[in-house]
Structure 1
Amino acid sequence: MARDYWPYFDPDYENLSIRINPPRVSVDNTSCSDCTLIKVDSVNKPGILLEVVQILSDLDLVITKAYISSDGGWFMDVFHVTDQQGNKITDSKIIDYIEKALGPKGHTTEVVKTWPGKRVGVHTMGDHATIELIGRDRPGLLSEISAVLANLHFNVVAAELWTHNRRIACVVYVNDDTTCRAVDDPTRLSTMEEQLKNILRGCEDDEKVARTSFSMGFTHVDRRLHQMLFADRDYEGGGLATEADYPPSFRPKISIDRWEEKGYSVVSVRCKDRSKLMFDIVCTLTDMQYVVFHASISSDGPYASQEYYIRHMDGCMLDTEGEKERVVKCLEAAIQRRVSEGLSLEVCAKDRVGLLSEATRVLRENGLSVTRAGVSTVGEKGVSVFYVKDASGNPVDMKTIEGLRKEIGHTMMLNVKKVPASDKAQEEGGGWAKTSFFFGSLVERFLA
């Protein structure tokens, strides 16, 4: 009787090189006078650059320069970083976290299953249910969404919302208003899903008006928003973005060349510098199935110059003009999704069910449209940051803000974070408001 013999593979063999050569991380505050150098040497693996950049971005560190090299089986990179005020990183807790997060046990692989056909995605994880929504943007939409959640007795623990090319993507973390636990009642979840679906659809019956993917695993919220808008093809805006949406100073200049001798496509990006810019670009290239082999990043005053040497995962360069054009459009969209020219308002109050609904209702009634938002719960306080314009997309009249302050001042604290009238302040790098939301991640717990 014939037998088939198969070679035996030790299941630990794949991780052998990592165990023999674990990642080496150093945080150097002596070599450079005006920044901290973070050096990472590691065995190369898919997605490692994005993991490293994601950790630095979550800590709100500003990457002023970076040099990336990952030819062969080894990954080496150097990041020049500062805090948001331009100072070196001296907090021992942050340094310790960086060394542990990027060290031997710091890297994790994210696996996300998606169902692109669903309009509203809901799944439960730990003490929260996660809702993902995507659809056509319109004034007051966030207010309508939060009102539905409040009426159904869902408490919004955290949320992040982006708009781009008249599309909206939103990830909301909710729990039950009485138990503070995730809701697992299928009837209640189904009711919420149907009501949110109707709001996103509005008066339209077109299937393309509103849809989203249903994530069955946890992924980084900013990356998830990029994935949702990319799947929604927001980069094919059909020229809907206007001069008012993205002034010339915010329009990136992107070119793609070929380095025949080495077999690389060279993606060059020059645009207005800002927080998390490198993350947004690397995230998009990674999700488009491109591998970054080398990169050079630098800041020149208010502008950033970034160069990436890439190949497709199958080892090929970008050969066709159509493929190059698509990469350029997708990178432009990734850069512009986080750009917010509107006024930035921070609203803080004692956390309670319906707080987000109340805040967004007042914004809507005062003729303000939310272009981007971040909501978080810090202890017993609910903190929300809203980037707003008037309903016509124009800058907000400060008289409106003063009226808003008087209206909500007895229950909420309102702080104006950014006034776009001063172009000089933006050129000097002071025009970007800082927002960071970890949704109970390791970073928040470690640094608490």
Structure 2
Amino acid sequence: MTEAVDGAATRDAERAGDAFARARAGLAAARAGRGIELDRWLASLLAETGAGEDVALVAVGSHGRGELTPGGDLDLVLLHRGRDDIAGIADRLWYPIWDRGLRLDHSVRTLDEARKVAATDLKAALGLLHARWLGGDHDLADLLRAAVLADWRSQARRRLAELAELTRARWADQGELAFLIEPDLKEARGGLRDVHAMQAAAATWVAPGPGERVRAAHDLLLDVRHALHETTGRATDRLVLQEHEAVARSLGLADGTALLRAIVEAARTVTYAADNLWRHVDRFCADRNRAARSGAKVERRPVGDGAVEHDGEVVLARGADLSDPVLPLRVASAAAQAGLPPAPATVERLAAETPPLPVPWPAEARDALVTLLGAGTAAITVWEALDQAGLIVRMLPEWAQVRNRPQRNPVHRFTVDRHLVETAAGAAAMTRDVARPDLLLVGALLHDIGKGLPGDHSRTGAVLAHQIAVRMGFAAGDADVLETVVLHHLLLPDTATRRDLDDPVTVQTVAERVSAVPGRGREVLEILAALAVADAQATGPAAWGAWKARLIQDLVRRVDARLAGTAPPRDALDPSAEQLALARHDGAAVRVAGSRVTIAVPDRPGLLWRTAGVLALHRLVVRTARVFSASDAGTAVLDFTAVPEYGTPPDPAALEADLRRMLADRLDVAGRLERRAAAARTRRGVPVPPPRVTVVEDASDTATVVEVRAHDRPGLLWRIGQAIGACGLQVTKARVDTLGAEAVDVFYVVDSTGRPLEDTAALSALREGILAALR
């Protein structure tokens, strides 16, 4: 039955596609035919004036490009070689055009006059770049085009800077075509005017011209504009809501939603290409010494495993393993964390040459996705690049259903897919507020994944989210949490704004729903609270406000109080049997096995941060760490999982040798780290939330428990441990986890007498010391 339904849907889609193609072919043929007819008629008008060979009629603008739609203006230049009677010739030419009821933009120029106007009037120059001979003196028209192009290229830096300023002002005024319900097809960002600007930039030879996909997007938008003019009978470029259905029918599309979806896809293709172009142009305009150093070698700086920065973009490192299915996500996460765009050619190559991810995903792929999303707004540009290359749908097939899906609702600013990415980017600022930032970010990305499918999108999306989570390799309990988050992502805002919060039944109902996953109710609650904020802020200004925020905060506080009895047991950090056995090893034991580093030595202060420092010296990033003291053996056990910051792993023998030298006090860890830090260039990156240090009260009777939340970076654990040691404290247990780009670290510390800290001043000094180290 399912196969029959799928087959019917496929046939319907094919029929709709055929109708759309036929309608577009008809519009293109009509445009071409009308253009040929106009050209012949205008040439005959010029001939009838008896102007002779020193006068030429030239089409510029949309007519010059051969893109004249029914409502478009004729844009003509009457070019001459200094004729005294040119005014009479012009009158005999223009009046028949006006008598025919055509809209006309006209000018009369000598060659020198045309060049002077183009030199001072950017819009005139852009029109003349597409000058096309219609009749009269062909050589004169060729001279005009050659002269205008030569001037344009000789002044490329100044003219492109002007064009960039004009373009960005237009974007700010008109908005983004892909996300507007009533867009201007020509002037909005991602519209026809942007393709014309790309063509103008290409005419300077500074940048390549629009590629095949951009040209196809341009043609689609031009067809929609043509259909709009025919349908309305007006020279309008704004597609207002009341015209959606009629324009869709004239194009052979099912409805206005299908029309908007086609426009969205075309507009995003143009916008992506335009963003890449203007980044390139900005670098060209800013670098006045580029020509002088054109032969100089451009520095390539590593930004992640398999990725380097090259001329302001992230490209593949030499020797990057294209057979690795995780490479696209690894490069994407490195680009986002560095605050740089991936080079379009790099993304296309990743899409073409890397294999799909296995199922379930390896942990590294899941971690890279979370790191990408955790970059906040920087992730949006990178995600768009992956999407344009088809990598997102390849990784998440369910994304196809929401991709470019418009939300014909003035409250929503974005299409469904962009809303999901914007929500995840907003949630990145709240990762300090939840125990599992990875589940918050993935939940934000998937919360509306059910839109466009039959039924309630929350219920449908919850099923999809669970399937996706399992495919991503999340543990069963984590997949259940994500399913619950997607199912109830509207629970808090709907309840807070529509129910009586003083009614105990209201609080009890919410508590029961968030507790669907046993023992994880508070975790789900805090994720839903953060998601409610990120979702509303990504929706639009009308969806969020101080009143709504206060109601949700009040509801969360009440529900959390109801769930407080289900908190996890205190002192829950216990060693494994393997670690206990190692703790009883005679003397010092050091084991390096792949990414796992384990040390068991007689307990003494500073072991944690000195070991972390050695790992940092070998360019290893700590992903997890478990530290405890075995009191019966007088031994400390440190168990790390550490992966290379980038490149190949260090030599295990060399790492083990340095660890043993550190244990024997024959390695100046601090000095070597300081020298390396002084030699390193400051790395750009994305803005991140400030670190948070919390003393967790009543979590242990034997130690003070300190939780540190911070953006991960090389040497982070070294700095935290050093700050704890500087306060004269010893770490008896530690649980260190890196979830995406977020470090979630818990330390059990005692003073020199082996007791928890009770002095308020000492606790404050500890907290401030760690914060200072992290800054």
TM-score, scaled relative to structure 2 = 0.20
The higher radius of gyration belongs to 2
**More strand as a share of residues:** 1
TM-score, scaled relative to structure 1 = 0.34
**More helix as a share of residues:** 2
Higher relative contact order (CA 8 A, sep 6+): 1
